[in-house]
Amino acid sequence: MATLSNLIAINVGNTRTHLGRFSDGELQESVHFECDDFTPILQKIVGWWKEIAEKPQASIVLASVNESESRRLTSAVKDQLSVNVYRAGDDLPVPIARQLDPETITGIDRLLNAAAAYDLLKQACVVVDVGTAITIDFIDGEGTFQGGAIAPGARLQLQSLHDHTSALPEIEFAAPNGEAFGRSTSQAMLQGVFHGIRGMVWKLIERYAEEYGAFPTIIATGGDADLIFKNDELIDQIVPDLTLQGIYVTAKTALAGRIDKDVDVKK
């Protein structure tokens, strides 16, 4: 059976682009850029491609929730390298079953995270992705994506507080100090956002566990995962590159001809 050996994975998010280079099934290197850092993003992809182009099963696969940036990047990569850029979810179906409302269009990042988490654990799990938005998604023990919850990320919450009030300042997100009480306006805002996110995640996972009848394994990912959940006893693993791993699993499954789960599972 064919296996994917060499891959450049590209994840274009709302504010950042995440690149990964896989070799022999392992993620060898990953980097983040702001989406508007277009030239260094393209240079990194071109440089990596020169390293792997002559190796077996070399491919470039992109996933995106930012359509304008992904179109721009895909066009530039094709112009520079004269190679196909495959789209996860379009050219390559994500290998995760789904039990969702028929009209639902789920973000590709959520599906890739689910596929990667189940491929890693082979058991019921929750993926907490903490970035521009926060998603808390449940995958059951059969590997079916059941959906979850979406909330604004920490920076969106802080920006909203500033934009929609007359007195609250514009501040950078950080962990609050160790005191129980926020004794300044900025610390009070950080306390509310930081612990609000942690409390929301705890409550939702408790609900998922009650509904499922067992407590799932919890994986956190996303740009703010380490800052928010590093010392949280609820989280079993923090996997910063989970979406890139999902791109790899998607490409590997497609190449091996084992795509048999890209269907909605009806009740």
Which residues are annotated as catalytic? Answer: 109
Spatial contact of 244 and 9, defined as CB atoms under 8 Å apart: yes
d(CA 85, CA 45): 11
Q: How many CB atoms lie within 10 A of CB 207?
A: 13
3 state DSSP class of 3: coil
Is residue 87 within 8 A of residue 108, CB to CB? The reply is no
Cα atoms in the 13 Å half-sphere on the side-chain side of 13: 21
Categorise residue 237: left if φ over 0, alpha if ψ from -120 to 50, beta otherwise.
beta
